[in-house]
Homo-oligomer: A and B are copies of this chain.
Amino acid sequence: MKRKVTLKQIAKELDVSISTVSKSLRNSLEIGEETRLKVQAFAKFYNYKPNNIALSLKNKKTKTIGIIIPEIVHHFFSTVINGIEQVANEFGYSVIICLSDDSFEKEVRNMEMLANGSIDGFIMSLSKETQLKGDFHHITEVINQGMPVIMFDRVTNEILCDKVIIDDKYAAYEAVQSLIDKGKKKIALVTTVDYVSVGKLRTDGYTKALLDNNIPFDDNLIIKIENIDTCEIIIGKLLEDKAIDAVFAVNELFAVTCIKTANKIGLTVPQDFAVIAFTDGIISKYSTPTITTVSQNGLKMGNKAAKMLIDRLELEETEEENYTTEVIETYLIERESTN
């Protein structure tokens, strides 16, 4: 399928701003006649379809924010939503949520549906499949139509837009350092496969902490779980084969599975080994022992993402994009599993 020419491409070609192109296509008198006609002629030549939705959006505000997230079963995403809702309500915005179910096709379909006049802007976290494919045309199109997009947590460098992230590498580094500070030397990393951006960064942080402390990196201590159903077996093997003294798990489900598997084979946490989990959720708080976690600060992430979006929606149209990436600080919540 031939890719349609976008506002951005026209702008680049003619060396004017996107806003100038957009206004010219709306025949705005703010733009000098020569530029206006040139843009219009160019757009016609390339068969550019002035998107009525995008044009109407410039004028009609819905006061609604669209959220696209992979899923809601994980506590982290629920918390981010709560954070977005808080700020949205404060500023009189409504919130609509759609799930991509980690599917590229559903992410595209839901974005197109919402961009169709229901909302003013997006806050989104990429689906696994989208990250794997590296196809972000649906996001580019929405942005080119003049609709702001804020990405959080699972983001990509391929798209220029505002982003809210945590420093996954540093957060992992700190967690592993805290284990080393407690005298742990044989620290296993229980992680997912690498195609989600954050997984890679957390592994980097783990590795760096070991190296900075002159602890040899051992590939056998990195356990990749592809399917939660096989998690217990794989962890059981880890605990039986290697005399590890700590586990750093990239999510709390892996962490609690470590603890329960340990119990089954006669090991106890934290006596036999310590456990830290990434993402502070409901399991860590209520498991026995309670689990020390890296808090991703989902509420603050949601607050910030909503504020960035509303700022973009309510500030006067700017000629130049000026995107920022906000890094939300994480912190360690010390509980029983590392005592």
Interface of A toward B, CB cutoff 8 Å: 64, 72-73, 75, 78-79, 81-82, 85, 89, 94-99, 101, 106, 109-110, 113-114, 118, 253, 256, 259-260, 263, 282-283, 286-288
Contacts and interface: CB of A to CB of B under 8 A. Distances in A.
Nearest to A97: B97
Considering residues A110, A118, A253, which has the most beta carbons from chain B within 10 angstroms of its beta carbon?
A118
B98 A113 contact: no
B95 A99 contact: yes
A85 B97 contact: no
B94 A110 contact: yes
Given A78-B72, A286-B260, A94 B99 contact: no
A98 B95 contact: yes
Given A287-B287, A288-B260, A94 B85 contact: no
Given A286-B287, A287-B288, A288-B288, A97 B94 contact: no
A269 to B, nearest CB: 11
A135 B198 CA distance: 46
A85 B110 contact: no
Contacts of A94: 98, 109-110, 113
Given A283-B286, A288-B288, 8 more contacts: A85-B99, A94-B109, A96-B118, A97-B98, A97-B99, A263-B288, A282-B282, A286-B286
Considering residues A72, A81, A101, which has the most beta carbons from chain B within 10 angstroms of its beta carbon?
A72
Considering residues A81, A85, A96, A98, which has the most beta carbons from chain B within 10 angstroms of its beta carbon?
A96
Contacts of A85: 99, 101
Q: 7 closest pairs, A vs B, by CB?
A: A288-B288, A97-B97, A256-B286, A73-B78, A72-B78, A118-B118, A72-B72
Contacts of A118: 96, 118
A64 B113 contact: yes
Contacts of A64: 113
Nearest to A64: B113
A23 to B, nearest CB: 27
Contacts of A263: 288
Contact of A81 (B75, B99, B110, B282): B99
A79 B114 CA distance: 23
Contacts of A96: 96-98, 113-114, 118
A306 to B, nearest CB: 14
A113 B118 CA distance: 9
A179 to B, nearest CB: 22
A80 to B, nearest CB: 11
A171 to B, nearest CB: 23
A113 B62 CA distance: 9
Contacts of A99: 81, 85, 95, 97
A109 B64 CA distance: 11
A103 B81 CA distance: 16
A281 to B, nearest CB: 9
A4 to B, nearest CB: 22
Contacts of A72: 72, 78, 81
A81 B106 CA distance: 15
A85 B287 CA distance: 30
5 contacts: A85-B99, A94-B109, A96-B113, A253-B286, A282-B282
